[in-house]
Amino acid sequence: MKRILLKLSGEALAGDKHTGFDEATVMVVAKQVKQLVDCGTEVGIVIGGGNFWRGRTSENIDRTKADQIGMLATVMNCIYVSEIFRSVGIMTQVLTPFTCGAFTKLFSKDRAGKYFSKGMVCFFAGGTGHPYFSTDTATVLRAVEIEAEGIFLAKAIDGVYDSDPKINPAAVKYDEISIQEVIDRQLAVIDLTASIMCMENKMPMYIFSLNEENSIVKAISGEFSGTKVTV
């Protein structure tokens, strides 16, 4: 694929620690993305913030402020992962929908396009820039804006199941499922706002496990064994 958007959850960065960063885990991602970039794929990345903070889990502070902290957590994640990427020889830029001084560049489609054409990986940090949204929504929004061919969701689980395989050992994995069915069956792939955006903008998604060897490269180069969400 020519241009894709890769979504990593915040927890994925933490490895077994569940919070903060696990450098070995991020290095595995970096080496795979390097292979993709070397083959000419343009890679945009969105990272969640759950390894630090989630707005809705705070009960005592204003939701808007709690969500701002969450968005800043995603900026920290992107700066960290961007630096690990640079350490393996990938050129990167971190873009945010709000100004962060000299820490990041302000997002625009044109700016992202310019960086892609120079062979850089673009990190879309800071979510949508608005509270009450998630990085799932930011993922679809940026994928649509940059005209990505698809969204690749690297998860702790290897695809979409008809029920939770941790609870139901007979749960069945889908090879392919439509976004309409994901919405109707309330399958927890991405949140509802993001799912609707995917459907309206006809953006396919590929769900696969981050924990399998070379899974990002395999997923994007066609050896895909997860679930394709069709539109």
Binding site for ligand UDP (CB under 6 A): 10, 48-50, 54-56, 66-67, 70-71, 73-74, 127-128, 130-131, 133-138
Helix, strand or coil, per DSSP, at residue 65 = helix
- Considering only CA atoms, give the Rg of the chain: 17
Tell me the residue length of the chain. 231
| Residues 61-81: b if buried by 16+ CB within 10 A, e if exposed | eeeeebbbebbbbbbbbbbbb
Q: Which amino acid is at 173?
A: K
Q: List residues bridging with 152 in a β-sheet.
A: 6, 206
- Kindly state the smallest distance separating residue 20's Cβ from ligand UDP, in Å: 14
Is the CB of 68 or the CB of 82 nearer to ligand UDP?
68
Is the CB of 129 or the CB of 204 nearer to ligand UDP?
129
Is the CB of 126 or the CB of 226 nearer to ligand UDP?
126
- Kindly state the smallest distance separating residue 122's Cβ from ligand UDP, in Å: 17
- Kindly state the smallest distance separating residue 141's Cβ from ligand UDP, in Å: 8
Is the CB of 64 or the CB of 87 nearer to ligand UDP?
64
- Kindly state the smallest distance separating residue 35's Cβ from ligand UDP, in Å: 26
Distance CA 77, CA 104 (A): 12
Q: Say which residue the tokens 């945009």 belong to.
A: 44
Contact 74, 48 (CB under 8 A): yes
Is the CB of 34 or the CB of 130 nearer to ligand UDP?
130
- Kindly state the smallest distance separating residue 192's Cβ from ligand UDP, in Å: 12
Distances (CA, A) of 218 to 33, 122, 149, 154: 11, 21, 16, 12
Distance CA 78, CA 40 (A): 22
